[in-house]
Structure 1
Amino acid sequence: MSGAEGAARAEFIAAVTPLVDAIGGELLAPEQARDDDVVLSWAGGPVAAVRLPLLSESLDHILGELARQHGRPLAELDRRTKQQVVRRLETRGAFALRHGVETVAAALGVSRFTVYNYLNRSTNC
């Protein structure tokens, strides 16, 4: 591989890294890919592989990212902000996962009933 090819591959990996981080994935060398990994190609050849997280890990990753964005644990947010978090999670499909409501309720420090109320409020607004 020439220096220009190496630089182009490094730029490609730098470009996809924020996306992989956002989904909670893991970047690997292409030769480390398993059957369920996604191999990324660039300029005619494999550059990297992405190991996708389990769906349950994805929700935990999203909750962690939301806490980082707000600068504190989600349980410490005010009611209105918790409602906004629930709406964001709903648009991301968090409640389609088994135990999604329970997981979100625990992270927010509220009951499942409260999460359902927040969901109903968002559909009635």
Structure 2
Amino acid sequence: MTAPRDHPLVAAVRPLVDAMGGELMAAGEAEPDDVVLAWEGEDVLAVRLPQLSESLDHILAALERRHGMPLAELDRKSKQSVVRVLEARGAFSVRHGVETVASALGVSRFTVYNYLNYANEQRAKAREDGEGQPPAGG
């Protein structure tokens, strides 16, 4: 990257860009799909966002780091939790998302769908349980 490395904007956005799997570059190197960021009216840097499929791989790698082991080695409950996180992050809207996640978890696509159905059932049950409750503080 040829953008000023010590610029406060670079320091501020680097953790977010890294977490998304994006790339920082000089503003002048930006292509039409890149996001140019300005500081006090001056273009300072550009962010190249990853393709959705690359984002999924990046998210899976981050989850492995968080768990400290390959996702395929997690227990069933942890795998279900991973699927909930991935669903919340839109992983299953990516083409072949279910297959990619199933491979990373060492399970079948059918199992991933079961985890998704279980998570949806749990959310629905939690909503039902909360409907008959009086409002808090009332």
Cα shift at 1:83: 0.2
Count of paired positions: 119
Cα distance in 1 for residues equivalent to 2:119 and 2:106: 19
Secondary structure of 1:35's counterpart equals: coil
Q: Residue in 2 aligned with 1:33?
A: 30
Cα distance in 1 for residues equivalent to 2:70 and 2:44: 37
Cα shift at 1:117: 0.3
1:82 maps onto 2:79 in alignment = yes
Cα shift at 1:12: 1.4
Secondary structure of 1:16's counterpart equals: helix
1:94 aligns with one of 66, 84, 91: 91
Q: Residue in 2 aligned with 1:104?
A: 101
Cα shift at 1:97: 1.1
Cα distance in 1 for residues equivalent to 2:21 and 2:29: 18
1:58 maps onto 2:55 in alignment = yes
1:51-107 per-residue CA deviation (whole Å, 9 max, x = no partner) reads 011111000000001001111111111110000000000011111111000000000
Percentage of matched positions with identical amino acids = 67
* TM-score, scaled relative to structure 2: 0.83
Q: Residue in 2 aligned with 1:3?
A: none
Unaligned runs of 5+ in 2: 123-138
Cα distance in 1 for residues equivalent to 2:17 and 2:52: 14
1:23 maps onto 2:20 in alignment = yes
| The structure with more radius of gyration | 2
RMSD (CA atoms):
1.3
Secondary structure of 2:7's counterpart equals: helix
Unaligned runs of 5+ in 1: 1-5
